[in-house]
Amino acid sequence: MARTPLADDLIAIYKEALDASHAGKAVEARLQVSSGAIRAGRRAIALDRVERVGIVSVGKAAPAMAEAVPDAIKEKMTFGLIVTKEGYGRGVEGFEIREAGHPIPTRDSVRATDEVVELVSELGEEDLLLVLISGGASALLTSPVSDIGLNDTIDLTHLMLRSGMDIGSMNMVRAHLSRVKGGRLAVSAAPASVLTLALSDVQDDKLPAIGGGPTVADPSRYRDAISALKKVQIWDDAPESVREYLEAGNRGEIPESPKPGDPRLSRAFAAVVGGPRTLLRAAARVARTMGLRVRCATKRVEGPVEELVEKYMARAGSMVRSGTGREVFVAVGEPTVRIEDPAVGDGGGGRSQHLSLLMAKAMAGDEHMAFLAAGTDGTDGPTNAAGGIVDGHSVNALQAAGIDVDRALETYQSYDALGAADLRLETGPTDTNVTDLHLLAVEGKTTARKKK
Distance CA 109, CA 41 (A): 31
- 375, β-bridge pairs: 436
| 261-284 b/e (C-beta count within 10 Å ≥ 16 → b) | ebebbebbbbbbbbbbbbbbbbbb
pTM as predicted: 0.91
User: What single DSSP character describes residue 382?
Assistant: T
The number of beta carbons lying within 10 Å of the beta carbon of residue 344 is 10
* pLDDT tens, residue by residue, 117-128: 999 999 999 999
Distance CA 179, CA 150 (A): 12
Assess whether the previous peptide bond of 103 is cis (omega < 30° from 0): yes
Pick the CATH number of 5-14+277-451 from 3.30.930.10, 2.70.98.50, 3.90.960.10, 3.40.1480.10: 3.40.1480.10
Q: Is the dihedral of CA 421, 427, 433, 438 positive or negative?
A: negative
Cβ(298)–Cβ(264) below 8 Å = no
Q: List the CATH code of the domain at 22-143+178-220+257-274.
A: 3.40.50.10180
> Does the pLDDT value for residue 41 go beyond 90?
no
The residues, any chain, with a CB within 8 Å of residue 249's CB and separated by 6 or more, are: 176, 222, 256
Residue 341 pLDDT: 63
* pLDDT tens, residue by residue, 60-72: 999 999 999 999 9
Residue 300 pLDDT: 92
Sorted by where each begins, the domain ranges of the chain are 5-14+277-451, 22-143+178-220+257-274
| 212-228 b/e (C-beta count within 10 Å ≥ 16 → b) | bbbbbbbebbbebbbeb
Q: What angle do CA 178, 185, 28 make, to 5 degrees?
A: 125
Half-sphere exposure of 75 (CA within 13 A, CB side): 8
User: What single DSSP character describes residue 261?
Assistant: T
The predicted model gives 404-430 an average pLDDT of 95
Strands 96-100, 43-46: pairing is unpaired
Distance CA 58, CA 351 (A): 23
The predicted model gives 403-418 an average pLDDT of 95
The residues, any chain, with a CB within 8 Å of residue 411's CB and separated by 6 or more, are: 344, 345, 348
Distance CA 231, CA 337 (A): 15
**Do 22-143+178-220+257-274 and 5-14+277-451 have the same topology in CATH?**
no
> Does the pLDDT value for residue 314 go beyond 50?
yes
The predicted model gives 91-109 an average pLDDT of 95
* pLDDT tens, residue by residue, 159-205: 999 998 988 899 999 999 999 999 999 999 999 999 999 999 987 89
Half-sphere exposure of 373 (CA within 13 A, CB side): 25
CA–CA distances in Å: residue 87 to residues 60, 150, 305: 10, 22, 28
Cβ(265)–Cβ(216) below 8 Å = yes
**Secondary element (H or E) of residue 9:** helix 5-20
The predicted model gives 134-145 an average pLDDT of 94
The amino acid that residue 382 corresponds to is P
The predicted model gives 135-139 an average pLDDT of 92
